[in-house]
Amino acid sequence: MSAVIPIFAVVGHPNEGKSSVLSTLAEDDSVRISPVPGETCECRIFPVKIDGREILRFIDTPGFQNPRATLRWMQNYTGPAPDLVREFIWAHINDSMYHDDCELLTPLLDETGIILVVDGSRPVRDVDRAEMEILRLIGLPRMGIINCKEDDTAYLDQWQSEFRRHFNSVRIFNSNKATYFERIALLESLKSIDQNLQGVLEMVISAFQTDWIARDQRTAEAMVAMLTKTLTYRRTAKCPEGTNEAMLRDNLLEKYDRFVVREEQKMFQLIRSFYKHNIFNFGLPKHSMLHNDLFSERTWNFLGLSKRQLVLAGLFSGAGIGAAIGLPAGGVTVGVGAAIGGGVGAGVAVLKSLGVLPSVSLLGIKLDNEKLQVGPVQNIQLLYILIDRALIFYSHTINWAHGRRDYEQSNTDAEKSKEKQGYTTNWNRTARQRCDAFFKAVQKNDADQLEETSDDLRKLLRECLASIASNSEKLRGNST
């Protein structure tokens, strides 16, 4: 075994979930996963890198094609034990019938650890026993992974009993649901298969844990950057006499709507990349409120707003953005939007009936004799909406195993467990004070104050991200 980079060959019979396990272990969603047996016919190396430095290496191998014949040859072998694999390859390298077997065994010429993956949803067969015996005869450190597809454990006891006879360590591992914490637990188990592995794997585990903290930090930074841009947004447009003010207002609000959605999507993409979902765009659960428009009533209702806040949000533009327009005559501020159905009077009447001051709004609009200005945001509720959506997306992302490909299904435990509310709904007073301070700094556009409050908000968000990850793991543990 390499003293610097641990190397593990992932082996097994075709269509046993081998590539899916490898994809999850390596955090690499480019691993080809196919229901067609024998899809993998060549070895492929998957390095695991942190900050550009390789710390771990997995090798995807073809499945066994002739395990019984291979076992018979090895049982009849009489040469030096260390030369067993090399002699087998030399004897069969030109035989096309043994191409996959030779390809599989080639990485084992070096001091490589072995991870055998089997499908725990079916019974043990004689061919499985042959494969396990081959790996035992090779004599390298080895672990058996029982990949329990669809949580089918009917044959689990049988597999565990058989594995104990052939492997240094046995692990149950659902590649479709495995989280970061389960990857760490598996690496901890790998330490037990060979004493020489303990030190180097401890360094690998420490690197993974440090890297996870750094990812959460980058996520919090991306969230604060998005919030700052969307909440400080302001645009002006010339509004000379004779201009259709309603049409101009519509246009400005529509641009703001598109701007916020675009910035939110850019942040989502960053979060995906931080947690290495780079190739496949995993599907959000069907029940996820992230499928709804940012400014839809259902989104705001899900995230815990009161009825009067919902009505207030519904008063305004087609995008659902509230507005306030300063009327030159008398300087009275009333609630209007890009397309209030009943006009200004109806909007004010509804606000009064709800006991809401007419000046309460989401997006400020100011009108003078020459220009119309949109922004910055006046209602702190949008801050909480954006934070909640980012935290929900984070939860989806960290709970989506890299080896999972059933994008149409929805079984994200963390999201299913939540009721109709966002994460921020139950934040304590201190947390809300941090948000209030940040929002006020954004409105004042005070650079020094914004820097200080942004740091406080980032700390709050990092704490929340860590809590979400920890709670997701607890929920998963309680469900298994």
Domains in the chain: ranges and CATH: 7-175 (3.40.50.300), 213-479 (no CATH)
Tell me which of 294 and 430 has the higher pLDDT.
430
pLDDT at 113 over 90: yes
> Phi and psi at residue 324, in whole multiples of 5°?
-130, 130
pLDDT of residue 29: 76
Highest mean pLDDT among 86-100, 177-191, 329-343: 86-100
Two tokens, residue 87: 């002699």
Tell me which of 265 and 23 has the higher pLDDT.
265
Report the percentage of the chain scoring pLDDT > 90.
36
> Phi and psi at residue 355, in whole multiples of 5°?
75, 25
pLDDT of residue 125: 93
pLDDT of residue 300: 56
pLDDT grade, residue 39 (50/70/90)? Answer: low
pLDDT at 302 over 90: no
Closest by CA to 183, choosing from 1, 16, 12, 28, is: 28
pLDDT of residue 406: 58
> Phi and psi at residue 60, in whole multiples of 5°?
-80, 130
CA 318 to chain centre: 31
Two tokens, residue 415: 């999201």
pLDDT of residue 425: 84
From CA 254, how far away is CA 252, in angstroms rounded? 5
pLDDT at 397 over 70: yes
Range with lowest mean pLDDT among 229-243, 323-337, 350-364: 323-337
pTM over cut 0.85 = no
pLDDT grade, residue 414 (50/70/90)? Answer: very low
Within 10 A of 143 (CB to CB), how many other CB atoms are there?
22
pLDDT grade, residue 291 (50/70/90)? Answer: low
What is the rounded average pLDDT of the residues 249-270? 87
What is the rounded average pLDDT of the residues 82-104? 94
From CA 436, how far away is CA 433, in angstroms rounded? 5
pLDDT at 399 over 60: yes
- Show Cβ contacts of residue 365 under 8 Å, excluding neighbours closer than 6 positions: 249, 252, 323, 324, 325, 326, 336, 372, 373, 374
Which residue reads 């900050």 in tokens? 51
pLDDT of residue 368: 60
pLDDT of residue 235: 83
pLDDT at 283 over 90: no
Two tokens, residue 264: 């939110």
14 SS3 class: coil
Highest mean pLDDT among 205-214, 235-244, 414-423: 205-214
For the chain, the distance separating the N- and C-terminal CA atoms, rounded to the nearest angstrom, is 34
pLDDT at 327 over 80: no
What is the rounded average pLDDT of the residues 278-300? 57
Give every strand in the sheet of 235-238, ordered side by side: 235-238, 371-377, 363-367, 323-326, 333-335
pLDDT at 320 over 50: no
pLDDT grade, residue 109 (50/70/90)? Answer: very high
Range with lowest mean pLDDT among 296-300, 348-352, 459-463: 348-352
pLDDT of residue 366: 60
What is the rounded average pLDDT of the residues 421-433? 87
pLDDT in tens, 153-193: 778 889 999 998 888 888 888 877 777 888 888 889 998 88
Q: Give the β-pairing of 113-119 and 7-11.
A: parallel
Highest mean pLDDT among 21-30, 292-301, 404-413: 21-30
Average pLDDT over the chain, rounded to an integer: 77
From CA 228, how far away is CA 377, in angstroms rounded? 11
